[in-house]
A and B are shown apart, each in its own frame.
Chain A
Amino acid sequence: MSFRWWGLWKGSFFHCAFVLRAGLVVAVGFMALTAASTESDLLEPERAFQLSARFSDHKTVELNYKIADGYYLYRPRFKFAPEPTTSAKFGIARFSKGKMKQDPTFGWVETYRDSVSIFLPVAMLETHISRGQPLRLKITSQGCADAGICYPPFQQVVSLQYGSLALAFPEPAANIGTDRPVQSTAPQNAPTSSLSELLRKPK
Chain B
Amino acid sequence: MPKRFLIAAIVLLVALAGVALWLDRSDLATLPLAAKSHATVAATAVSPGALYSAKFSDLQGNVQGLGQWDRKLLIVNFWATWCGPCKEEIPILVKIQEKFSGRDVQIVGIAVDSSLNVANYSRSIKINYPIFPDEVGAIAFSKRLGNRLGLLPHTVVIAPGGTVIYNKLGVVTEAELVDIIAKNAPI
Stretch binding the partner chain, chosen from B38-46, B67-75, B126-134: B38-46
Interface flag for B160 (CB, 8 Å): no
Using an 8 Å CB-CB cutoff, how does the interface string of A11-49 with B read, 1 for contact, 0 for none? Answer: 010010011011101101100110111111110110000
Interface flag for B165 (CB, 8 Å): no
Task: Decide: A9 and B29 in contact? CB cutoff 8 A.
Answer: no
Task: Decide: A5 and B41 in contact? CB cutoff 8 A.
Answer: no
Task: Decide: B84 and A150 in contact? CB cutoff 8 A.
Answer: yes
A148 vs B168: C-alpha distance when bound (angstroms):
12
Interface size on B, residues (CB 8 A): 47
A104 vs B3: C-alpha distance when bound (angstroms):
64
Identity of the chain A residue whose Cβ is nearest the Cβ of B34 in the assembled complex: A148
Q: A residues within 8 A CB of B147?
A: 39
Q: A residues within 8 A CB of B110?
A: none
Interface flag for B86 (CB, 8 Å): yes
Task: Decide: A12 and B9 in contact? CB cutoff 8 A.
Answer: yes
Interface flag for B152 (CB, 8 Å): yes
Task: Decide: B152 and A150 in contact? CB cutoff 8 A.
Answer: yes
Interface flag for B16 (CB, 8 Å): yes
Given contacts A39-B146, A150-B152, A152-B139, whether A25 and B24 have CB atoms under 8 Å apart is yes
Would you give the shortest CB distance from A134 to chain B, in whole angstroms?
29
Using an 8 Å CB-CB cutoff, how does the interface string of B120-162 with A read, 1 for contact, 0 for none? Answer: 0000000000000000000100000011111111000000000
Q: B residues within 8 A CB of A15?
A: 13
Interface size on A, residues (CB 8 A): 42
Identity of the chain A residue whose Cβ is nearest the Cβ of B36 in the assembled complex: A35
Interface flag for B182 (CB, 8 Å): no
Q: B residues within 8 A CB of A19?
A: 13, 16-17
Task: Decide: A36 and B36 in contact? CB cutoff 8 A.
Answer: yes
Q: B residues within 8 A CB of A144?
A: 83-85
Q: B residues within 8 A CB of A23?
A: 16, 20
Interface flag for A200 (CB, 8 Å): no
Which single member of B6, B84, B150 contacts A105 (CB below 8 Å)? B84
Identity of the chain B residue whose Cβ is nearest the Cβ of A29 in the assembled complex: B23
Given contacts A38-B39, A39-B41, whether A150 and B151 have CB atoms under 8 Å apart is yes
Interface flag for B98 (CB, 8 Å): no
Would you give the shortest CB distance from B127 to chain A, in whole angstroms?
15
Which single member of A22, A44, A45 contacts B17 (CB below 8 Å)? A22
Interface flag for A108 (CB, 8 Å): no
Which single member of B36, B87, B149 contacts A32 (CB below 8 Å)? B36
A25 vs B28: C-alpha distance when bound (angstroms):
10
Which single member of B13, B28, B81 contacts A33 (CB below 8 Å)? B28
Interface flag for B31 (CB, 8 Å): yes
Task: Decide: B28 and A148 in contact? CB cutoff 8 A.
Answer: no
A149 vs B147: C-alpha distance when bound (angstroms):
12
Ranked nearest first, the 7 interchain pairs of A and B with the lowest CB-CB distance are A22-B20, A29-B23, A150-B83, A32-B28, A148-B85, A25-B20, A104-B84
The residues of A with any CB-CB pair to B shorter than 8 Å are 1, 5, 8-9, 12, 15, 18-19, 21-23, 25-26, 28-29, 32-33, 35-42, 44-45, 77, 103-106, 142, 144, 146-153
**Would you give 25 A-B contacts (Cβ < 8 Å), ordered by A?**
A1-B3, A8-B10, A9-B6, A22-B16, A22-B19, A25-B20, A36-B37, A37-B38, A38-B39, A38-B42, A39-B39, A40-B148, A42-B39, A45-B149, A103-B84, A104-B88, A105-B82, A144-B84, A146-B37, A147-B39, A148-B34, A150-B83, A150-B152, A150-B153, A152-B150
